[in-house]
Structure 1
Amino acid sequence: METFKKLPDTSFVVLEFQSTFGGTAYMQEVIDDNGIAKHVRYNQHIDTASWDSKESKWTLEAHDLKTGEKKIFSGNFLWMCQGYYRHTKAYTPEWPGMSDYKGLLIHPQHWPTDLDYAGKEVIVIGSGATAATTWIHEIVRRKIAHDQPAFTKICIESPEQVKKDLIAGVAAHLPEGFHVEKNFTPSYRPWQQRVAFIPDGDLFKSFADGRSGKELKGDIIASATGFNLVMFGDIVFTVDGEVVDWHKTITYRSVFTRYDE
């Protein structure tokens, strides 16, 4: 926003797929304090983004998800901020017999706000961040902000030792003889992917109750099985009329550059 304040003759628009802003709750305060609301267009699905080298201009073709109205936007600079998940469809594997299941199958990415699970048997498939991570209370944020750089530094400098220590911590919460290497040893080093925070180790308590887990009966299945990755929101990009094949690009200092095989 400081950049636009210094360039009063520059205009901008924010195109949002959802019917309201995404992210955390304080975003509404940011929008209000900086007068951004008038620049935001909600329910916009971008179909194509075309770059014209002669005009040095982007042209975006979009349509309104509520009305179906087609719209054209143009500008000299395009900033992609939609992340790398396909927000319309989460990743759920095709398990044998899934179509025969009579209960409720949901994915955390599209969690029903009116879900009533009181008195229900709930099965959670998956043990990664989607299943385990929680928001840590405000009171410990300062401590985390202080400790996090040190932990990240250790992960970079001594990844194998950190991996060994983390696996040992997991093993301490599991029953004796539990196959930790098979079930709780990631194929990647610590912090190559996010490390999940499990309050009080409650996830591991279910492994100590003596049940094999080979057969489970549940009214609700929560498929915490991850997301579908997607490049730039499935938008079709063209440069001077030629469709961009992202597999034939490299990135250098945040800039995509085409190369020929």
Structure 2
Amino acid sequence: MTTSPAPAPEPGTQHVDVLIVGAGLSGIGAAVHLQEEAPGTSYVVLEAREASGGTWDQFRYPGIRSDSDMFTLGFDFAPWPRAEAIASGPDILEYLRDTARQFGVDQHIRYRSRAVAAEWSGEQARWSVAVENPDTGERTTWTCQFLYMCSGYYRYDQGYTPDWPAREDFGGTFVHAQHWPEDLDLTGKRAVVIGSGATAVTLVPAMAEAGADHVTMLQRSPSYVMPLPGRDPIDGLLRKLLRTDRAYRAIRWKNIKMSTAIYQLSRKRPELMKARIRTQAVKLLPAGYDVDTHFTPSYDPWDQRMCLVPDGDFFASIKAGRADVVTDHIESFTPTGLRLRSGRELEADVVVAATGLNLVPLGGIPFTVDGERVRLPERVAYKGMMLDGVPNMAFAIGYTNASWTLKVDRVSSFVSRLVHHMRTHGFTTVTPQLPDTPMATRPFIDMQSGYFERARSELFLQGDQAPWQLQNHYAKDAELFGDVLADPALELRRSGATAGATSRP
């Protein structure tokens, strides 16, 4: 990325043009985009764990699957090869690792390498990243000219567990879905799943299928649960008529348009959308089921993320009598189960907390710029991918109202083209700069889900105007992430340059 020789790294350090943090869905995609759109750029992918795949390698609970269709959750450059639109965790993991091998990304991954601190030197125009081996504690240093954080936004080592009274009194097995034990036998067990989100509605039918005597989903309040076909109804036809890549693109665009339309309808006509979702639930549940209590949230559709269930398997488990839903609050645990606020007792052999995640922005890594600590809650996100005043650093965070990868593919392509432009034209530093006039700000993610609410004070902000405002709209983002030179908010500099050599395209 430089036109003059860069300062030699300190002894014991290793240097690359771009350092990618995280070898999950985002990191693997970022590496491929970098190879294709910034050829000749050296890079390494740091992965804290011993295997690639991120979420899809770590989460092992029964029935784990995508909560978006794979034609949009899959990469734009690697067609999803299977017929299932909603795919199992193991199938997604296989797809990710096959993609990494196909494009040679697997040769660039450094495992057991956790980034623990990052320091930017304006004089050297590079990041120094402290990297720790989680097993030994041994530390090394990587330097890079561009740092790309692809670590997601939640803690992999710790799920969110409320402080329930008397939990230690429970005599059965208590687990958190994020840390599922491999040897847990559900055969003949009475199980309670606490939660009402995507994990809970996935676990309930899977645990019933795994031999549990009965599974109860215990929720404080309902979520919107929508059935959809496990296989795309026109995918098979298109695969017969078109080449695989063309069929994939066609299905991908169809699903993008459909999901966008559903989201827009939810925001513009929430009462209509509520009625449609309720009608579906009534059709799939037993006659006379109390839909209003258990499946009618107090908030509008897409104020929180919806739960999608392939072929309505969650509803089918209830209709078959293998599962049920209880809407109540936990008063306390007991030796044999749970006591609810209503006075009801739920007996259980196994209690599973599907109570969500703990968010940690940018991997929890402390960042400093020329010796000054970067306070994330004071920074505004540029295009939802960089922070004002922080040079040569981007992060990958996907859509909250659509498939994660749709946004991340846009970001990774933009980052790669930006890196290529800087290298080609001799720029060493790129920094988003806030407009000269005051701009109103609000939380970066304004959904009402619990894990966002709990982390609100730790997240950066968004503005009220482009390119500082999130659009959450794939088609509109095509223009936003188009020409890397089209935005005066990006300040480009050459090493050692004076203000006269600064470029604001």
TM-score over 0.5 for the alignment? yes
CA distance in 2, matches of 1:257, 1:38: 33
Q: 2:351 aligns with which of 198, 201, 221?
A: 221
Q: 2:165 aligns with which of 96, 118, 127?
A: 96
- Counting only pairs closer than 5 Å after superposition, residues 41-56 of structure 1 correspond to structure 2 as 41-56=110-125
Partner of 1:149: 257
Matching residue's letter, 1:180: D
Partner of 1:180: 292
Partner of 1:66: 135
Unaligned 5+ segments in structure 2 are: 1-31, 57-92, 207-228, 237-250, 327-341, 390-433, 442-505
Name the structure, 1 or 2, with higher relative contact order (CA <8 Å, separation 6+). Answer: 1
Partner of 1:108: 177
- Deviation, 1:55, is 1.6
Q: Which range moves more in the overlay, 86-95 or 1-10?
A: 1-10
Contact kept in structure 2, 1:132 and 1:203, CA below 8 Å = no
Alignment length (residue pairs)? 259
CA distance in 1, matches of 2:113, 2:289: 53
Q: Which range moves more in the overlay, 127-136 or 157-166?
A: 127-136
Contact kept in structure 2, 1:159 and 1:190, CA below 8 Å = no
CA distance in 1, matches of 2:286, 2:297: 13
CA distance in 1, matches of 2:40, 2:116: 28
Partner of 2:104: 35
Contact kept in structure 1, 2:282 and 2:289, CA below 8 Å = no
In structure 2, do the counterparts of structure 1 residues 106 and 213 end up closer, same or farther at CA, with 3 Å as the change threshold?
farther
Q: Which range moves more in the overlay, 90-99 or 9-18?
A: 9-18
Contact kept in structure 1, 2:119 and 2:128, CA below 8 Å = yes
CA distance in 2, matches of 1:237, 1:17: 18
Matching residue's letter, 2:376: W
Identity %: 31
CA distance in 2, matches of 1:189, 1:137: 22
- Deviation, 1:137, is 4.5
- Deviation, 1:147, is 5.0
Q: Does 1:199 align with 2:199?
A: no
SS in 1 for 2:367: strand
- Deviation, 1:37, is 2.7
In structure 2, do the counterparts of structure 1 residues 7 and 153 end up closer, same or farther at CA, with 3 Å as the change threshold?
closer
Partner of 2:388: 257
Contact kept in structure 2, 1:56 and 1:76, CA below 8 Å = yes
Matching residue's letter, 2:106: A
SS in 2 for 1:94: coil
Q: Which range moves more in the overlay, 46-55 or 199-208?
A: 199-208
Any idea what the Cα deviations from partners look like across 1:75-109, whole Å, max 9, x if unmatched?
01111111111110001111111111121111111
- Deviation, 1:190, is 3.2
In structure 2, do the counterparts of structure 1 residues 159 and 72 end up closer, same or farther at CA, with 3 Å as the change threshold?
farther
Q: 2:188 aligns with which of 119, 129, 135?
A: 119
Unaligned 5+ segments in structure 1 are: none
Partner of 2:43: 12
RMSD of aligned alpha carbons = 3.2
CA distance in 1, matches of 2:125, 2:168: 51
In structure 2, do the counterparts of structure 1 residues 213 and 177 end up closer, same or farther at CA, with 3 Å as the change threshold?
farther
Contact kept in structure 2, 1:174 and 1:208, CA below 8 Å = no
CA distance in 1, matches of 2:360, 2:325: 38
SS in 1 for 2:118: strand
Q: Does 1:234 align with 2:342?
A: no
- Deviation, 1:41, is 0.9
Matching residue's letter, 2:364: D
Matching residue's letter, 1:199: D
Q: Does 1:26 align with 2:95?
A: yes
In structure 2, do the counterparts of structure 1 residues 6 and 85 end up closer, same or farther at CA, with 3 Å as the change threshold?
closer
SS in 1 for 2:192: strand
